[in-house]
Structure 1
Amino acid sequence: MKNDLFSIGPLTIHSYGLMIALGILVCVFMGMYRARKYGYKDEAVLDIAIFGILSGFIGAKLLYVLVEFDRFLENPMDVLGSEGFVVYGGIIVGALAGVLYCRIKKLPCWEYFDLLAPSIAVAQGFGRIGCFLAGCCYGRPTDAFWGVTFPEGSFAPAGVPLIPTQLISSVGDFAIAGILLLYNKRNKKAGNVGILYMLLYGIGRFLVECLRSDDRGTVGMLSTSQFISIGIVLLAIVLFFRHKLFKGTKKRRKRRSIKMIKSGR
């Protein structure tokens, strides 16, 4: 657990930023590889990733501003210039950016969502490792043998054994990615892989939030992320049953791959 890894002159490499960057790279390369495998446009995946990442950072910061709105009113630059982000803001705004791109380029939005959902989960897994190294998003105090004590200089309270919620989240995100990849092989309807991602992540995030102890905003008795998680899970359930009423299978993927082979691409 180390927030500052090393410095090169005035430039300091932070563990959180490094893991975020690594997660993004793995996400993009994994998405492009799977795009070529299933006959999609890998350049479209790269474009979606660029727009989604840029929009995601803005969304994550905007939701953080809403969570810390009282502090923002007192000192706007203190909040805007801080290292604070809320992941759900990034996911929601980044996803909307991806949808907008697909609509503009007339691409099958649900199919690209299926394609990228496992990559997104992998990127989140790396991001949570960054949270652990920085000490943010920490859990409640615990006497259990698996409690983690953070050093001075971390965002977490130093010298107190805490539940490693960051690592729990990371393992969960990687597990979700694996489940999605396996389900993708059996899935017959476009959109179901992406919807399953929403369902699994929403449930997992809600449960992990029960173990966290950091200040992250509340909506009634729930944390902000728990409140959003309920909405995400309900939306996933509605979308799943809605998809059962409409056609839209993965046959398009197979036909696209066959056309590419015949055309020598």
Structure 2
Amino acid sequence: MFNDIVIGPITIHMYGVMIAAGFLAALLMTLRRGKKRGYDEDIIWGIFFCAIIGGMLGTRILYYIVEIPEILKDPSILWDFKNGYVVYGGIIGGILASYIYCRTKKQAFMPYFDLVMPAVSFAQGFGRFGCFFAGCCYGRETDAWYGITFHNSSFAPNGVKLIPTQLISAAGDFIICALLLWFASKRPKTGRVAAAYLVLYGIGRFAVEFLRNDYRGSVGVLSTSQLISIGAVIGGIVLYFAAPKLAGVGNVAEEKSVG
């Protein structure tokens, strides 16, 4: 398993390459779908940049929250940026930043929320490939044929076969993207594509957590991510039924389809 590509004095980290590829793919997908449906391209660009900033802050802030006991013991964790990025924090931070941006631009948030979530899931798939190359977010030990072995990872145990949870998560993210695109093509009510993302991702993440073996914090018998997953599923169900009433008004008509 390789993590870096070395070309002379230049080292290219595959994790960063996959993250960048995911962002670019998400942007292109959203711009293409948005243009076909008459969405404001400037708003899409604004949401993109706000989501990146909010997402990066969110990944770090949630990590700090989860690691409060350890930070109290060792405050140096606060400025150790090699580790400490929580995906759920990125999702929450990106959504909040995008919502605030739409509010400042007096745009209805829900139609854009629907528009971007399939692309977000697609980007997450690329991100999980990045995790695979780096060896983070690794799975439990296994003797099964599908187990993978790391040899030079700074995160995963080296020399033992592990469940490829990163690839399982990536496949799940791409499947969710495909399902959301199909669902959007059916012209559901505003907000329901985003709601479907929360439900599908929450269920998938909850299940994959049972296969992972990296430290992610815990609340009782559940990992922190599983607890958040339960909240995401509940939130998605509530949003599914409430979103049409909460869609609001703006320059984008509430009834506009994102199919």
Normalising by structure 2, what TM-score? 0.92
State the 1:244 CA deviation: 6.3
CA distance in 1, matches of 2:104, 2:121: 25
Q: Which residue number corresponds to residue 239 of structure 1?
A: 239
State the 1:42 CA deviation: 1.4
Q: Which residue number corresponds to residue 138 of structure 2?
A: 138
CA distance in 2, matches of 1:210, 1:250: 42
Q: Does 1:16 find its partner at 2:15?
A: yes
Q: Does 1:63 find its partner at 2:62?
A: yes
Report the 3-state secondary structure (helix = DSSP H, G, I; strand = E; otherwise coil) of the residue aligned with 2:136.
coil
State the 1:252 CA deviation: 3.7
In percent, how many aligned pairs have the same letter? 50
1:42-53, aligned counterparts within 5 Å? 42-53=41-52
Q: Which residue number corresponds to residue 112 of structure 1?
A: 112
CA distance in 2, matches of 1:8, 1:39: 47
What one-letter code is carried by the residue in structure 2 that aligns with 1:253? K
Specify every segment of 5 or more residues in structure 2 that has no aligned partner in the other structure, as ranges. none
In angstroms, what is the RMSD of aligned CA positions?
2.1
State the 1:212 CA deviation: 0.4
Per-residue displacement from partner, 1:183-239 (whole Å, max 9, x unpaired)? 001133111000000100000000000110011111111101000000010111112
Q: Does 1:184 find its partner at 2:187?
A: no
Report how many aligned residue pairs link the two structures.
254
Note if contact 2:110-2:247 (Cα within 8 Å) is conserved in structure 1: no
What one-letter code is carried by the residue in structure 2 that aligns with 1:195? A
CA distance in 2, matches of 1:141, 1:211: 9
CA distance in 1, matches of 2:65, 2:47: 26
Normalising by structure 1, what TM-score? 0.90
State the 1:95 CA deviation: 0.3
What one-letter code is carried by the residue in structure 1 that aligns with 2:180? L
CA distance in 2, matches of 1:253, 1:197: 19
CA distance in 1, matches of 2:79, 2:200: 31
Match of 2:256 among 250, 253, 256: 253
Specify every segment of 5 or more residues in structure 1 that has no aligned partner in the other structure, as ranges. 255-265
Q: Does 1:31 find its partner at 2:30?
A: yes
1:200-239, aligned counterparts within 5 Å? 200-239=200-239
State the 1:72 CA deviation: 2.0
User: Runs ≥4 in structure 1, deviation > 6 angstroms?
Assistant: 244-251
